[in-house]
């Protein structure tokens, strides 16, 4: 019965968070941690970060925002379990939608325990993406954007899925260089005339 509840979508807990981002911020670092939740990142229509959570009463959201004097800002959003032993009727799956502002460079870091993740970055100035998904699939749509940070080439993003499939959607005008952990993965399908796989 517990395992069946884990796979059922819950809607008893609805949380909406919004955080304004100052106009002089040039780099926004986003860090999100989720539990039994399907997560989607999209570009928003305003100059703020907006998160909409619909799901289990066993979950709570904790967020924090900070800016420095050099134009950098950081936003963290963490799904937590206030009770180590939640009520049976409070158990269930959740959904989280994270809207990010346009016209500001963003670096996304995501960790998911059990759930699918979609990163629709087509409308974002994406500098770097680090993602770890323990159980679930991932869909990542990259933008036609050239990162400005000089450290991106030395420290590129890392996409790690322990149990699940990864689909990358890359614009034709964007070149790519990917390093694959062959000890755990099969060779992916891709256009080898446009992309290099190490």
pLDDT digit string (tens) for 96-151? 999 999 889 999 999 999 999 999 998 899 999 999 999 999 999 999 988 888 77
Cβ contact 57:12 at 8 Å: yes
Q: How far is CA 193 from CA 166, 176, 197, in A?
A: 21, 11, 11
User: Quick one: how far is CA 142 from the chain centroid?
Assistant: 12
Give the best-scoring range by mean pLDDT among 81-85, 111-115, 155-159, 180-184: 111-115
Best CA proximity match to 121, nearest among 103, 101, 141 = 141
pLDDT in tens, 11-55: 889 999 999 999 999 999 999 999 999 999 999 988 899 999 999
DSSP calls for 111-161: EESSS-EEEE-TTSEEEEEEEEESSS-EEEE--S-----TTTTTS---EEE
Which pTM does this prediction carry?
A: 0.88
The mean-pLDDT minimum among 6-10, 44-48, 91-95, 169-173 falls in 6-10
């Amino acid at each position: 019965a517990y395992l069946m509840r884990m796979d059922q979508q819950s809607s008893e807990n609805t949380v909406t968070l919004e955080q304004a981002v100052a106009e002089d911020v040039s780099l926004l670092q986003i860090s999100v941690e989720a539990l039994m939740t399907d997560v989607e990142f999209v570009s928003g229509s305003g100059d703020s970060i907006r998160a909409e959570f619909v799901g289990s009463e066993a979950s709570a959201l904790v967020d924090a925002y900070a800016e420095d004097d050099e134009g950098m800002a950081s936003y963290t959003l963490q799904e937590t379990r206030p009770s180590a032993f939640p009520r049976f009727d409070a158990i269930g799956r959740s959904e989280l939608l994270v809207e990010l502002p346009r016209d500001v460079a963003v670096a996304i870091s995501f960790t998911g325990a059990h759930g699918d993740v979609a990163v629709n970055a087509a409308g974002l100035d994406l500098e770097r993406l680090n993602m770890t998904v323990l159980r679930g699939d991932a869909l990542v749509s990259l933008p036609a954007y050239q990162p400005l940070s000089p450290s991106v080439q030395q420290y590129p993003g890392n996409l790690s899925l322990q149990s699940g499939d990864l689909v990358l959607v890359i614009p034709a005008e964007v070149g790519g260089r990917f390093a694959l952990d062959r000890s755990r993965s099969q060779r992916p399908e891709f256009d080898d005339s446009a992309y290099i796989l190490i």
